Amino acid sequence: MNTSGLLVLLACVFMAAVSCSGMASPLYTTDTSASDSELPVVKRDDLLNEMSIYHGVPYRLGGTRITGVDCSGLVQAVYNSLGVDLPRTVAEQLGEGRQISERSVRTGDLVFFGKPPDHVGIAISNTEVVHASVTRGVVIDSIDDLDRAMDASGYRRVVRLK
């Protein structure tokens, strides 16, 4: 599937989630706090496109390339391709950007799972996350489903979207 097809797939998955979940808050808002002004800026469409490129890539422990990624390698690879330098490990990524509440999650935010955190994904919306599953590779899952399975443990905003 080409990049355009994957972007359409991401959009369809998001629209299905919106219609089924009755999502109260939008995928993306322009509301930002004063501290967001210090974060790097990326184009929302560029971020979604970059995430779509990795859809279906196999899991590879320590991987950071399109041939195989682990969860933090996926986050680092996606953001590095957009000019945002993030560290390599889950523990290091947990210290990036600024902490936000679960209710504030929106496209581009990092969502951490496990206690202590040992898994990370990138929010597509306030209900869906792209992450590297050990058994399924890079997939889109419900944040609530992952929370039930692995306990959501933190949320970080690392970029401003335009």
pLDDT of the residue at 130: 98
Asked if pLDDT for residue 10 goes beyond 70, the answer is: no
Indicate whether 20 belongs to any domain: no
Tell me 30's DSSP state: -
pLDDT-based confidence at residue 12 (cuts at 50, 70, 90): very low
Indicate whether 98 belongs to any domain: yes
Indicate whether 29 belongs to any domain: no
Indicate whether 128 belongs to any domain: yes
pLDDT-based confidence at residue 13 (cuts at 50, 70, 90): very low
Catalytic residue annotation: 71, 119, 131
Number of domains in the chain: 1
pLDDT of the residue at 36: 86
Give pTM, 2 decimals. 0.81
* DSSP three-state, residue 25: coil
CATH number of the domain to which 55 belongs: 3.90.1720.10
Give residue 8's domain range. 3-14+37-161
Indicate whether 146 belongs to any domain: yes
Give CA angle at 36 (28, 87), nearest 5°. Answer: 95
Indicate whether 153 belongs to any domain: yes
Indicate whether 108 belongs to any domain: yes
